Chain A
Amino acid sequence: MKQNKVIIIGGGSAGLACAIALREKGIQDILLLEKENELGGILNQCIHNGFGLHMYKKEYTGPMYAQHHIDRFMELQIPYIIDATVLDISEDKIVTVSEPNGIYSIQAEVIVLAMGARERTRGNIQIPGDRCVGVWTAGNAQKYLNMDGYLVGKRIFILGSGDIGLIMARRLSLAKAKVVGVAEIMPYSNGLTRNIVQCLHDFDIPLYLSHTITQIKGDGRVEGITLCQVDENRQPLFETAKNFEVDTVLLSVGLIPDNVLSEKAKVSLDLKTKGPIVDSELMTSTPGIFACGNVLHIHDLVDHVSMEGILVASSIIKYFEDNDSLDLIPVKSKGFLNYVLPQSINPKSDTVLLKYRVSKPMTKGILRIICNDQVLLKIPKVDLHPSEMQSFNLTKVILDKINSNVIVELSDE
């Protein structure tokens, strides 16, 4: 059987950053597998700017950010295969791949999961109505428009106010489609303020907060939708129904980490993040399998994805030096937190970057790191929003005080 020291699955921002960092740290035997016909991943279709503010202090477009990494990857002559679909990963790290030269298996010492995420579809959120043509996920519509040059519709309603939905509202308006409105089931937008301003206000597109689509109508093609306000339990108030004539509905209703392959390798998943459960080295429950980027948890900024890829590279170096499994210290979240990552601390880690999302918008809150009923750290926080991932670095000084279960708590007092 063919063998590779490290196999990276996915050539998007996480996979590229990990491959580059591994090679820069002296690992020669790397193979990156990409299922699309080019490297770069989802960045290639995100033609708007605003990428790289944290990593490069620049506002690159998605393709520029990707190009930056692709150029470095090529310069380092890292082996890769495009049009390569991974069919299976086993617990003992055998990767089965289908690529233009055939189907075969490769034994890896380490596997990096960097497959990214998928969009939630109409099926996932079960919008009632006719099963007609013209209901798209925002990302698919984006790919059609930005890479293939097809406009998916002329009068469009967008469900979901996440950043992809907002970016598409602007993009479609610039492409001379009429965006009739954007609806958000929550009482607040899940997008960045700058996107609300530059993508909706600039084009006079109304944002309907606490609203959802209760019906899609159309004989063959979408002809219209019914929009209803929702109550505090997100149940539609049918007396508020309004009809809109549109030919297209775009869904921007969230991303789900793509872990079909991870499950084949018996990697345990977290119900909240929908990604692998990892320790502070970003190693999954299957030793030697690591995860980074959107496959691990959904990110709002690509910079953080790249940084995760780089962190995995460092962890792999440590793993090759010494792969004895140490007792992990569980990390739990409490209070107004949706999740905390990593789910455990590996005593090997010198510092631990805790990442978390709040469960509701808060103007101020207090983050506490608790161990053995003792508050190790108390950090005041301001302007917290569920759509913005937060992070906090646990330094060596703090880690030395941690010897049993850690609780990360966010409270409003």
Chain B
Amino acid sequence: MNKQVICIVCPKGCKVLVNEENGVYTTTGNACNRGNIYGIQEAIEPKRMLTSTVKINGALHQRCPVVSSGPIKKELIMEALKVLETVSLSAPVTIEQIICHNICDSGVDILVSHTMGKTNDL
């Protein structure tokens, strides 16, 4: 198996070719070892941080920003967003408060990313 990956570790943006043979992964085109690690991870199981918003009542704004506690499998992102569509928070909320445990069995939680007070407290 061959897979072309653009490394995002630094601004250089190396074009890394990941090659798999009998379960052994090798890379070419990367200028450093970080490109090797990134390229292989990206070829085996690409992961992304997930940031979005959920509905919030009683706050200054209608939406509350949220973030995943760690990178989540790319293929689970759309499913996770569907779950977040059903979440509705009430102010106040505090930064890093968990609003969703182990979303889509990914092992990753979803956290509030901004403290939002109740509007009448402001």
Binding site for B on A (CB under 8 A): 37-38, 44, 47-49, 59, 61-64, 66-67, 70-71, 145-149, 174, 192-194, 196-198, 201-202, 383, 385, 388
Q: For A202, what are the chain B residues with a Cβ–Cβ distance below 8 Å?
A: 48, 74
Across the interface, do A59 and B49 meet the contact criterion of CB distance under 8 Å? Answer: yes
Chain A residue at minimum C-beta to C-beta distance from B74: A202
Question: Across the interface, do B11 and A47 meet the contact criterion of CB distance under 8 Å?
Answer: no
Contact A63 B60 (CB under 8 A): no
> Which of A37, A63, A145 is the most central at the interface, judged by chain B CB atoms within 10 Å of its CB?
A63
Please give me the residue from chain A that is nearest to B62 by CB atom: A149
Given known A38-B60, A47-B65, contact A64–B74 (CB-CB < 8 A): no
Chain B residues lying within 8 Å of A194, measured Cβ to Cβ, are 8
- Distance A257 CA – B122 CA, assembled complex (angstroms): 30
Q: How far is the CA of A410 from the CA of B31 in the complex (A)?
A: 25
- Name which of A67, A148, A383 has the most chain B CB atoms within 10 A of its CB: A67
| B11 near A383: Cβ-Cβ < 8 Å | yes
Query: Which residue of A63, A148, A385 is within 8 Å of B113 (Cβ)?
Result: A63
Q: Is B67's CB under 8 angstroms from A193's CB?
A: no
Q: In the complex, are the beta carbons of A64 and B6 less than 8 A apart?
A: no
CA–CA, A256 and B33, complex, Å: 39
Q: Which of A37, A49, A66, A197 contacts B114 (CB 8 A)?
A: A66
Within 8 Å by CB of A198, from B8, B65, B67, lies: B8
Query: Given A67-B114, A388-B11, are A47 and B52 also a contact pair (CB < 8 Å)?
Result: yes
Residues of chain B at interface, number, CB under 8 A: 26
A196 CA to B6 CA, complexed, in Å: 10
Contact of A192 among B11, B48, B55, B61 (CB under 8 A): B11
* Interchain CB contact (< 8 A) of B13 among A48, A63, A193: A193
- CB of B98 closer than 8 Å to a CB of A: no
Contact assessment for A49 and B53 in the assembled complex, using a CB-CB cutoff below 8 Å: no
Identity of the chain A residue whose Cβ is nearest the Cβ of B63 in the assembled complex: A149
Main secondary structure of the interface of A (DSSP, over half): helix
A385 to B13, CA, bound (A): 12
A47-B113, A67-B115 known; A147-B52 Cβ under 8 A: no
Could you tell me if B6 and A197 are in contact, using CB atoms closer than 8 angstroms? yes
B6 touches A147 (CB 8 A): no
CB-defined contacts of B8 to chain A, threshold 8 Å:
193-194, 197-198
Contact (A174, B6) CB under 8 Å given A146-B65, A149-B53: no
The verdict on B95 contacting chain A, using a C-beta distance below 8 Å, is: yes
Assess whether A37 is in contact with B60, with CB atoms less than 8 Å apart: yes
Cβ-defined contact, B12 with A383, below 8 A: yes
Q: Which residue of B lies closest to A194 (CB)?
A: B8
Residues of chain A within 8 A of B12, CB atoms compared: 193, 383
Are B113 and A61 neighbours in the complex by a CB distance under 8 Å?
yes
5 nearest A-B pairs in the assembled complex, by CB-CB distance: A63-B114, A193-B13, A194-B8, A47-B65, A149-B62
Contact residue among B53, B60, B115 (Cβ-Cβ distance under 8 Å from A146):
B53
**Chain A residues, CB < 8 A from B7:** 193
Pick from A49, A192, A385: contact of B67, CB below 8 A. Answer: A49
Is B63's CB under 8 angstroms from A64's CB? no
Cα separation A270 to B45 with both chains bound (whole Å): 48
Q: Within 8 Å CB of B53, what residues of A? A: 47, 145-146, 149
Nearest A residue to B48 by beta-carbon distance?
A198
Is there an interface contact between A146 and B63, defined as CB atoms closer than 8 Å?
yes
Which residue on B lies nearest to A195, using beta carbons? B8
The verdict on B77 contacting chain A, using a C-beta distance below 8 Å, is yes
Give the residues in chain B near A149, CB-CB below 8 Å: 53, 55, 62-63
Given A59-B49, A146-B63, A147-B63, is A64 in contact with B114 using a C-beta cutoff of 8 Å? Answer: yes
Q: How far is the CA of A198 from the CA of B46 in the complex (A)?
A: 11
21 pairs, CB–CB < 8 Å, chain A vs chain B: A38-B60, A61-B113, A61-B114, A63-B65, A63-B95, A64-B113, A66-B114, A67-B95, A67-B113, A70-B115, A145-B53, A147-B62, A148-B62, A149-B53, A149-B55, A174-B81, A193-B13, A194-B8, A196-B6, A198-B48, A383-B11
Contacts A66-B114, A197-B6, A383-B11 given; indicate if A49 touches B61 (C-beta within 8 A): no
